Amino acid sequence: MQSLQDKASEWSGVAAGDAFAIDDGNVFEALGGTTQPFVDLSTNFYTRVYEDEEEWFRQIFAGSKKEDAIRNQYEFLVQRMGGPQLFSQRRGHPALIARHRPFPVTHQAAERWLHHMQQAVDTTDSIDAATKTKMMYFFRHTAYFLVAGNEMTRQGHGTSCKCKHGESKPAE
């Protein structure tokens, strides 16, 4: 059976090596070692999501307050990209597939999510160009990993997967 990781690579067009280039070096430190660039990015991203003209997409987020969604995301990104374990200290293991189970994470939703994230990345000045490229590979691969996980959970399978999308950055 094709693994979630393989499906994510096939559907996203991003090889696993490119998706996890965020683990070459430490992105958090490279961006100055503060949460600010991640706060900037998540605020930019969710402002676009909550104002999306596509109602079907905006509705997916209707159960969460924008401020909470921003904090959940930036704490996860800080942690995943080499900074302090802010997300896990407050919310536990990221368990990304399980946490997305309530939502319709379809191919179409992934593309809309990525559309907003691409625009947010492009307009966040506190992130340098090389890091932007690495982040987008990670986001693209992870979005399709979640699409694959969503299909799997809807078919009644469990959610365990030894994948690196939600893990903390491996030790150097």
Site residues, ligand HEM (CB under 6 A): 60-61, 64, 68-69, 72-73, 76, 91, 94, 96, 99-100, 103, 105, 109-110, 113, 139, 142-143, 146
Residue 92 region by backbone torsions, left for phi larger than 0, else alpha for psi between -120 and 50, else beta: left
CB of 156 to ligand HEM, least distance (A): 21
By beta-carbon proximity to ligand HEM, the closer residue of 26 and 101 is: 101
Query: For ligand HEM, which is the closer residue by CB, 6 or 67?
Result: 67
Q: Whole-number minimum distance, CB 146 to ligand HEM, in Å?
A: 5
Q: How far is the CB of 147 from ligand HEM (least distance, A)?
A: 6
Nearer CB in complex with ligand HEM: 31/60: 60
Q: How far is CA 167 from the centre of its chain?
A: 12
Strand, helix or coil for residue 84: coil
Q: How far apart are CA 142 and CA 32, in angstroms?
A: 24
Question: Going by C-beta distance under 8 Å and a sequence separation of 6 or more, which residues neighbour residue 147?
Answer: 7, 8, 11, 105, 106, 107, 109, 110
Give least dist CB 171 to ligand HEM, A.
21
